[in-house]
Amino acid sequence: MYLDLALKEQKGSSDNIESKNRIRRMIKHFFHERDLSVLMRPTEKESDLQKLLEIKDEDLRHQFIKGLNNLRNKVFKKVQAKKLNQTFINGSMLGDLAVAYTKSLNQGSVPRIESCWDYMIEAENKKGILTAFRSMQDQLNELISDLPMNEEQLQDHKNSILNHTIRVFQEISIISKDQNLGSHIENISNKLEQEFLNVLRENREVTKSLLEAYFDKHFKPLVNKNLSLQKYKNFQDYNKEMEMFRAQFSKEMKDKGSNIELMIDQIFFRFNSLVYQEISSSNCHHVELELAATKERLRIAEEDIQRQRVEFLESRSLLESKINQLESERVHFSAQNQILNEKISLKDQEVQNVSFSWKQKWEETNENLSKIQKQFGTLEEKYQKLKEESSQKEINFVKENSEIMTQKKMAENEAKFLREQVSLKDVKIKDLQDSIMALKGRNQQPVIEVKEVPVLQEQTENDERDKQIEQYKLDLRHLNKIKENMEVTCQSLQKENIQILDENTDLSKTHRNLVDEKQENKKLTKKLLDHLKNKLIEKHESNCALKTMCSTMEESYAQIQADHNRMKEQIESYKRIEAAFEGCTSFKCKSCMRLISSANFINHQELCNSLFDIPLDITVCDFVKQSSPGERSPHYAYNISITVLNTTWCITKRFKQLWILHKKLMASFQSNQERLNEFVENTKHLEFEERVEKINDKERTKLANERMYFIRDYLAAIIDFDYVRKNLDFNKFMEIYEHFDDIQENAEVAEASSNSFVEEVSEEESQRIESLENGLTSFILKNNQ
């Protein structure tokens, strides 16, 4: 084949031929299996052959592209992955080995597989580290684009980036038995820590810009508007609105980034200083106006004091005259009181006599009334008995009358029946007589004889009936007489009933008269007792009024005496103060325990006494790492900003110093149990933790951050108590007295008002003291006389 012919050694002994043959031998030695592939000319143009790498595949011959693909497939089918030390070698690794071999050959040394292998591993690990770092940087860039985040989210992303970077490095790198993976992981973690600092810095910047944008959008325009409208009369008005917005601000921005509270404190600290300056300048203008108005009011007050002084002198003279008058009235009233007491005793005796006589009359009236009631009871019993007898008689009469009436009705019915029978008989007799007369006229004798017998019988029957009728009439007349007797008896009974009723009415009238007389007696007795009671009450009230008047006079006299003593003591104290002022050049303030010159002592005392009522604004800004010569490890100190009367200063304190202050405050409140209980109740949720030893820098920073918020909460909880504000240890901790001069310079309003007040009132007070002293001496002389 063509390749075998090309690799056949040539004959000759020259150096050129020997070197070529040497190459042929090496190729035969290293490549035992050999094959040949023929490729067609790529293109016909000679110029294109010089720039094949720039020509597109579409411009090359189709047969060349096909042959090239066949050659590639043939190579990939027969080639085997190269392994070295049980590790597959890729193209990059093979290139590194070739570079190592080439360097050895170029240096004239024999290539060693072990050293070349180490070189290749080191190169691959470097490539793995660089690839891992690029992957890390890409993920960090993506993380920066998603900022801001809170600390927990950042830590989660950091851990995921570290794990992903380690996986990328492990996929690419080759770790031999002699090498340690931990050193590479430590290198990666150190690199991530360095790069993550930039992420944290960027996160702080993004969070800060986000917070500032929200602050500038929602709060700053509102404050500027209120400042332009002058709605903030003092710092408290602004602080209330600031606290409301701050709570909302912290709530909405809680999860928007890390160290939110600290950044918010810094934003408010910078903005508050500007706002406080603006409010102070506005208040200064108002205070100047108020100062002018105050001077005008002081002038009016001086006039009022002068007028009141005149009125006081007049009223004092009136009081003196009134005291004399009251003294004479007291003597007069005491005499009258004695006379009235005697009259009261006489009246008491008269009341006792009258009450005794009325008591006897009352007993006699009760006895008479009891007798009348007994008589009335007996009469009422008799009336009840008569009433029962009359009712019984009336019942019996009604029964007898009803029986008589029934008998009368029966007799009338029988008489009526008999009358009807008699009338019938009369009719029959008349008919018989008529028939007899007719028969006589005809002269019929036998007929008449026959009929005489029945006529005679009828005559006898009629006679009997007449007798019965007469008997009935007699009975009827007897019944009528009985009826008349009964009627007479009823009339007599009715008369008796009427008589009894009249007696009953008389008895009831008598009883009613007795009851009315008793009621009248009661009313008369009650009126007499009420009259006596009213008289006694009037006498008692008059006595009480006299006693009250006497006690009032005594109290007035005692009050005047007490006022005199108090004024005398005030005069003596003023004299002592005046002598002290004249003889001393400086005084020691009880509040701050400093020596103050006598010229500035009054102003200083006014401001020092009112300093504890002035709002104190304390802000814990941040913390810094410091180191002391006597300590082995550095410590953290906290920057605390304090603002009093537009005067702001910053102190740097350690957590240990705050703990010592807490112990001193607790010790100072031991004497007052109520104050101690209140202090403990308001700080029991803020407990100082035990001292922490042997922690790393990361944990120490986290602890310092927690302590910063603890210090802020603790100071906010205790500054509202006046006894804490007045505590000397607390003021030394806050360095208030060291900045007292600055506070006094900035307190223009208090200084101006206190100076004007002290100067003007002191003169008026001295005049008033002199006038009071003169008036009191004259009053005492008069009293002694």
Residues 640 and 624 sit within 8 Å (Cβ to Cβ):
no
Max mean pLDDT range (273-277, 388-392, 462-466, 624-628): 388-392
Give SS3 for 593: coil
Q: Which residues, 6+ apart, have CB-to-CB distance to 88 below 8 Å?
A: 81, 82
Q: Region 639-644: what's the mean pLDDT?
A: 83
Q: Region 456-467: what's the mean pLDDT?
A: 70
Residue with token string 């920073």: 701
Residue 636, H or E segment: strand 635-644
- List the beta strands (DSSP E) in 452-496: none
Q: Which residues, 6+ apart, have CB-to-CB distance to 3 below 8 Å?
A: 34, 35, 36
Beta pairing class for 595-597 and 586-588: antiparallel
Rounded distance between C-alpha atoms, residue 6 and residue 21, angstroms = 11
Lookup: tokens for 408: 């009368």
Q: Region 35-39: what's the mean pLDDT?
A: 82
What integer pLDDT is reported at residue 445 of this predicted model?
46
CATH number of the domain where residue 635 is located: 3.30.1520.10
DSSP one-letter code for 54? G
CA 200 vs CA 136, 228, 399, 701: distances in Å: 15, 39, 132, 15
Q: Region 745-757: what's the mean pLDDT?
A: 48
Rounded distance between C-alpha atoms, residue 630 and residue 386, angstroms = 133
The pLDDT-based confidence of 317 (bands split at 50, 70, 90) is confident
Lookup: tokens for 558: 């005692």
What integer pLDDT is reported at residue 508 of this predicted model?
74
Q: Is pLDDT larger for residue 15 or for residue 454?
A: 15
For residues 281 and 172, state if they share a domain: no
Is residue 163, in this structure, part of any structural domain at all? yes
Least confident of 167-176, 199-208, 438-447, 746-755: 746-755
Is the pLDDT confidence value at 72 over 80?
A: yes
Q: In this predicted model, what pLDDT tens digit does every residue of 232-285 receive, in sequence order?
A: 766 677 777 777 777 777 777 766 666 677 777 777 777 777 776 776 776 676
Residue with token string 């009341």: 351
Q: Tally Cβ neighbours within 10 Å of residue 172.
A: 17
Q: Region 4-16: what's the mean pLDDT?
A: 84
Q: Is pLDDT larger for residue 408 or for residue 342?
A: 342
For residues 169 and 233, state if they share a domain: no
CATH number of the domain where residue 470 is located: 1.10.287.1490
Is residue 779, in this structure, part of any structural domain at all? no
How many domains are contained in the chain? Answer: 4
Phi, psi of 638 (to 5 degrees): -115, 130
Rounded distance between C-alpha atoms, residue 195 and residue 649, angstroms = 37
Prior bond to 111 cis, omega within 30?
no
CA atoms within 13 A on the CB side of 518: 17
Q: In this predicted model, what pLDDT tens digit does every residue of 87-96 receive, in sequence order?
A: 666 667 777 7
Query: Residue type at 490?
Result: C
Domain boundary residue among 443, 476, 509? 509
Q: In this predicted model, what pLDDT tens digit does every residue of 87-121 receive, in sequence order?
A: 666 667 777 777 776 877 787 765 555 566 666 77
**Residue 625 domain boundaries:** 593-605+612-746
Domain boundary residue among 305, 329, 353? 305
Q: Which residues, 6+ apart, have CB-to-CB distance to 9 below 8 Å?
A: 21, 24, 25
Lookup: tokens for 45: 């143009």
Rounded distance between C-alpha atoms, residue 334 and residue 327, angstroms = 10
What integer pLDDT is reported at residue 451 of this predicted model?
42
Least confident of 187-201, 431-445, 765-779: 765-779
Q: Which of 637, 634, 636, 639 has its CA nearest to residue 622?
A: 639
* Residue 596, strand partner residues: 587
Report CA dihedral (338, 342, 348, 349) to the nearest 10 degrees: 160
Lookup: tokens for 734: 């806050």
What integer pLDDT is reported at residue 257 of this predicted model?
61
What integer pLDDT is reported at residue 757 of this predicted model?
35
Rounded distance between C-alpha atoms, residue 666 and residue 74, angstroms = 93
For residues 133 and 237, state if they share a domain: no
Exposed / middle / buried, residue 573 (Cβ in 10 Å: 0-12, 13-18, 19+): exposed
**Which sign, positive or negative, has the C-alpha torsion 446, 448, 451, 454?**
negative
Q: In this predicted model, what pLDDT tens digit does every residue of 542-593 receive, in sequence order?
A: 777 767 776 776 776 677 777 777 777 767 766 666 666 555 666 666 666 6
For residues 601 and 669, state if they share a domain: yes
Exposed / middle / buried, residue 377 (Cβ in 10 Å: 0-12, 13-18, 19+): exposed
Is residue 775, in this structure, part of any structural domain at all? no
Helix segments in 173-259, DSSP class H: 181-218, 220-229, 235-252
Q: Which residues, 6+ apart, have CB-to-CB distance to 70 below 8 Å?
A: 37
* Rg of the chain (C-alpha set): 71
Residues 467 and 339 sit within 8 Å (Cβ to Cβ):
no
Q: Is pLDDT larger for residue 47 or for residue 256?
A: 47
Is the pLDDT confidence value at 776 over 80?
A: no
For residues 732 and 627, state if they share a domain: yes
CATH number of the domain where residue 142 is located: 1.20.1000.10
Rounded distance between C-alpha atoms, residue 720 and residue 613, angstroms = 10
Give SS3 for 12: coil
Domain boundary residue among 485, 509, 533? 509
For residues 496 and 600, state if they share a domain: no
Is the pLDDT confidence value at 398 over 70?
A: yes
Q: Tally Cβ neighbours within 10 Å of residue 174.
A: 18
Max mean pLDDT range (505-514, 575-584, 748-757): 505-514
Rounded distance between C-alpha atoms, residue 381 and residue 701, angstroms = 117
For residues 397 and 463, state if they share a domain: yes
Q: Is pLDDT larger for residue 445 or for residue 540?
A: 540
- How many Å is the maximal CA-CA distance in the chain? 241
Is the pLDDT confidence value at 721 over 60?
A: yes
Is the pLDDT confidence value at 446 over 60?
A: no
Q: Region 383-395: what's the mean pLDDT?
A: 76
Residues 387 and 500 sit within 8 Å (Cβ to Cβ):
yes
For residues 198 and 100, state if they share a domain: yes
Residues 612 and 722 sit within 8 Å (Cβ to Cβ):
yes
For residues 711 and 600, state if they share a domain: yes
Is residue 116, in this structure, part of any structural domain at all? yes
Least confident of 201-205, 386-390, 772-776: 772-776
Lookup: tokens for 101: 């071999």
Q: Which residues, 6+ apart, have CB-to-CB distance to 254 below 8 Å?
A: 260
Residue with token string 């890729």: 90
Residues 665 and 727 sit within 8 Å (Cβ to Cβ):
yes
Lookup: tokens for 226: 């209120």
Lookup: tokens for 511: 């009883």
For residues 128 and 228, state if they share a domain: no
Residues 743 and 735 sit within 8 Å (Cβ to Cβ):
no
Helix axes 220-229, 260-442, angle to 10 degrees: 80
Is residue 330, in this structure, part of any structural domain at all? no
For residues 295 and 408, state if they share a domain: no
The pLDDT-based confidence of 59 (bands split at 50, 70, 90) is confident
CA atoms within 13 A on the CB side of 91: 1
% of the chain residues with pLDDT over 90 = 1
Residues 263 and 205 sit within 8 Å (Cβ to Cβ):
no
Rounded distance between C-alpha atoms, residue 8 and residue 20, angstroms = 10
For residues 647 and 599, state if they share a domain: yes
Is the pLDDT confidence value at 26 over 50?
A: yes
Residues 426 and 465 sit within 8 Å (Cβ to Cβ):
no
Residue with token string 């003023």: 574
Is residue 381, in this structure, part of any structural domain at all? yes
Least confident of 277-291, 436-450, 508-522: 436-450
What integer pLDDT is reported at residue 3 of this predicted model?
74
Least confident of 344-348, 436-440, 579-583, 585-589: 579-583
Residues 637 and 654 sit within 8 Å (Cβ to Cβ):
yes
Q: In this predicted model, what pLDDT tens digit does every residue of 150-184 receive, in sequence order?
A: 777 888 888 888 888 888 877 776 665 555 566 77
Is residue 62, in this structure, part of any structural domain at all? no
3-state SS, one letter per residue, for 436-474: HHHHHHHCCHHHHHHHHHHHHHHHHHHHHHHHHHHHHHH
Helix axes 181-218, 220-229, angle to 10 degrees: 30
What integer pLDDT is reported at residue 530 of this predicted model?
82
What integer pLDDT is reported at residue 292 of this predicted model?
75
Helix segments in 37-150, DSSP class H: 46-49, 62-78, 91-106, 113-145
Is residue 547, in this structure, part of any structural domain at all? no
What integer pLDDT is reported at residue 66 of this predicted model?
92
